[in-house]
Amino acid sequence: MSIADQILYEDNHLIALNKLPGQLVQGDKSGDPCLAEEVKAFLKIRDAKPGNVFCGVIHRLDRPVSGVVLFAKTSKALSRMNQMVKERHFKKIYHAVVKNMPPQPEALIENYLVRNEAQNKSFVTHDSSNNKAKLASLHYRQLATSTGGYHLIEIELHTGRHHQIRCQLAHLGCPIKGDLKYGYPRSNPDGSISLHAYQIEFDHPVRHEPVVITAPDPWNIFNT
């Protein structure tokens, strides 16, 4: 799929894409192509820009995750959006597919997480005095159940910790479908995990108007 086909929203300051599983948002040690550079190249050609093109990463999604990812097209927009994210004026809603029913239909979950860099994995700790532990908070609610017994869960993130949703749902006994790293027994055929950045909401950094950007769920097993 081309960058043009992935665009969900664009104006003079921002561009949002529907990220596919497997795509990198920002370059890493793998050296694989990343969306930030692909967006730059796309804008340079489409808009016939003679000089360098600015594309700032506002937030990231894990490589096997799909859904809305937002980039800044100007340094002013990036600075203001970074401040909104830091102050938690940037609402993020995710959808996840799990096989095990959550313990409650809806709940606020808070844990302290510790990141293991060597394993590239986060763990729940009960030692909140650990100076490496960070509070992770999210609210979830069950949306639907498929005929095959899978459950569609909506998650609103209150914090943005490493692998937060994956770790906290696994700790509940509900690992995300396809997420081998956090205990799901089988991988998805395409290497994805069934976690999707469904919607983001924020005030526009220049126009100061509400913006809501949605990427439809990629699954067809739920009638929602």
Please identify every residue annotated as catalytic. Answer: 62
Q: 111: phi > 0 → left, psi -120 to 50 → alpha, else beta; which?
A: beta
Report CA-CA distances (Å) from 107 to 32, 126, 140, 153, 155.
Answer: 38, 19, 6, 11, 10
- Single out the residue of 177, 125, 127 nearest to residue 151, CA to CA: 177
Report CA-CA distances (Å) from 123 to 12, 38, 68, 117, 223.
Answer: 40, 33, 26, 11, 33
Contacts of residue 119, Cβ cutoff 8 Å, sequence gap at least 6: none
Using alpha carbons only, what angle is made at residue 166 by residues 85 and 123, rounded to the nearest 5 degrees?
95
